[in-house]
Structure 1
C-alpha cells in the first residue's frame, strides 16, 4: 500500500467522504488526511497546509495541487520551491516539474452548513455511486455567491441577473451565503437542495482558464442535472459531447438564446445517459483521490527519504517581512554608528 500524507487548510470539506466507504483508501493508496505521520511515500498539499508540518519523505515526492485560478490567488516562489511537483492550471507558476491538468477540486454537494456555519456531510462517494436516477420536478436553477472581488465574479453576477430578468420564475436563484446577492434568492444549506430537483443548472465559473473547472460543474453532474456551463475553454477534453452546453456569459443575449433553445429541444431528456457518464467521470476519474493515485503510481521511486518541513505561504510571507525588518534595523544601526565614527562626512553643506 502506498502511504500518502495529505495536508490542506480546508478541513471543513470532509474530503474523506470522496473515497469508497469513507475509508481514506483509493486503489493501492492509503491517505492520511491532516494527520501527523513520521514517514510517507508521498506528501500531497492541496492549496497550502494550515500549519507548519514535517515528515520523512523523498523530496521529489512532495506534491502541490493548486486550488484557485491565477485571478484569485498567486503562489510565491519560495512557497513553490518546497515541492518536487506541481499539479495546476496556472501557467504563471515557474517550476521544473509541472503537470497541467484539472485539479480534482472537491465537491460541495452533500455538505450541509449548520447554524454555526460549520459543515456536516450528508452524502458520500457511495451515495452518489449507487444513485440510479434522481426525479426532477423543477426546470432550472443556479447558485449565486456574494463574492465580487474579481472581474470574473462581477461578470457572473451581471449575467445571472440578466438570466433572471429574462426567465423570471422559470429559473430559481439560490444562495448559500447568509447575505442575499439580488434579494430574490432562497437560501439553501446544501447544494443537493439547489440542484437535485432541477433538470437544468447554470454552472458559471468565476474565470476562464484552460484546465480549470470546479465543483460548480461536478456538483451538477452528481445531482443529475444538465449544465449550462461557462469557464474552462477546453472542457471538451474532459466531458463528452451532449453532457453540457457551453455558453459565453460575455455575450448575454446569445447565451440566453442558446439556453432557451436547448430547453425547448428537451435536451435534458435526450442527455440522461450522457449525464450519467459525466457523473461517473467525476466520481472515478476526476475525483481528487483518483487524480493523486494516478500521479503517485506513475512516480514511484526508491530514492532516499529525508526530513521535510512544509510551511504555509502565509507564514513564509511573515518570515520574509520579519527578515526585512531585521535587515532594515541592522542597516539603520550601521548608519547611525558610521555617523558617530565619521561625523564630518554627515555635516550638511560640508
Structure 2
C-alpha cells in the first residue's frame, strides 16, 4: 500500500491529515495515509521546514498567491517531482525560475475554512435563507493583493445604507450592521442568500475557501477574484463585482434585488472536480502526469 504524509508551512501533519479527511471524499482504499516517517510520497502544501524522507517522492500543492512569502524558500518549486499550481507561467515570471518536475496547472486545491466534516454541509443543505446578504472580513491591511481593496469596500459599505450583516475579527466598528466575530463561517453564510467573497489576489485559477465556503452553504458568492472563475464554476450561481467601480455599492444593491438562485451545481463541481484524493490517485496510481 502506498503511504502518503502531509506537510506544510502552516500546520502539522496530524492536523493536515484530519482536514484532508474532512474535506474530501476518500472513496476507496488505494492510498494510505500516515503521520509517521514511513511514507512513499510527501504531499507538501506550499513548503515545509521538516526534512523529507530521501526515498519519498514529493508532490507540492501551491495554496498561496504568487507574491506570498510562503514562496520565499523556492526549493519546492524547483525540486519537487510534481507541482500542482494555479498559474505556472505567473510563478515562473514572478520568481524568475523554471518550475521543476512535472507541472500540473489546476485551480487551487484549498481546504474550506470550517473544521467540520464535509457531510455536515449535506445535513444543513435545506437551511432556510431568511436573510439577504452578509460579509465576513477580518482586518488585514497588507500592501499587496486585494487586502486594501477589501477594507476599502468595507468602508464604502459602512458609509452607505446597504442592509447587510458584517462579521469579522480585529475590527472595531460602531455600526448596528456589525455582528462581531464568529467561530464558524457557516454561521455567517447558511442563513443568507448572498455573501460578499473577495479573494486575496486576482490570479488565474486562484479560487479559495472565500468562494467555496459560500458554495458549500448554498449561498451565492458576490465575487471578486480569479478572472477565469466562469471556466471553473457555473456562472449562473455566482455574481461578479468590480472593486474599482465607483458604483460598486449600487452594483451590489442591484444584484440582491433578485432572489438568489437555488442550486447545488457548484457544490458538486467542488466535490467532484477538485477532490484532492482523486487528483493524488491520478498522479500516483494512474501516472497521468508523468513526463
TM-score bracket, normalised by the shorter chain, equals 0.7 to 0.9
Asked if residue 106 in structure 1 is aligned to residue 111 in structure 2, the reply is yes
Compared with structure 1, are the counterparts of its residues 131 and 194 closer, same or farther at alpha carbon in structure 2 (3 Å cutoff)? closer
Task: Identify the residue that residue 275 of structure 2 maps to in structure 1.
Answer: 287
Q: 1:282 and 1:167, CA in 2 relative to 1: closer, same or farther beyond 3 A?
A: farther
* Higher Rg of the two aligned structures: 1
Aligned twin of 1:190? 184
C-alpha distance after superposition, 1:159-208 (max 9, x if no partner): 1221233244x111101x3x215454311111011111111100011210
Q: Deviations over 1:211-263 (max 9, x none)?
A: 1011010000111111100000000111112110111112141x323322221
**Normalising by structure 2, what TM-score?**
0.83
Indicate if the aligned counterparts of 2:121 and 2:216 stay in contact, CA closer than 8 A. Answer: yes
Give yes or no for contact 1:107–1:215 (8 Å, CA) kept in 2.
yes
Report the count of equivalent residues. 272
Q: Distance in 1 between matches of 2:125 and 2:186?
A: 15
Asked if structure 2 preserves the Cα contact closer than 8 Å seen for 1:39 and 1:55, the reply is no
Tell me, yes or no, if structure 1 residue 224 matches structure 2 residue 212: no
1:31 is displaced (CA, Å) by 4.6
Matched, 1:19 2:24: yes
Gaps of 5+ in 2: 93-97
Q: How does 1:17-166 map to 2 (within 5 A)?
A: 17-20=22-25, 25-32=26-33, 35-40=35-40, 42-49=41-48, 51-54=50-53, 56-57=55-56, 61-73=57-69, 74-90=71-87, 91-93=90-92, 94-96=98-100, 97-109=102-114, 111=115, 123-151=116-144, 152-166=146-160
CA contact (8 A) 1:230 1:249 kept: yes
Q: In the alignment, is the contact (CA less than 8 A) between 2:112 and 2:213 conserved in 1?
A: yes
| TM value normalised by structure 1 | 0.70
2:277 partner SS = helix
More helix by share: 1
CA RMSD for the aligned pairs?
A: 2.5
User: Match for 2:195 among 201, 222, 228?
Assistant: 201
SS across alignment from 1:95:
coil
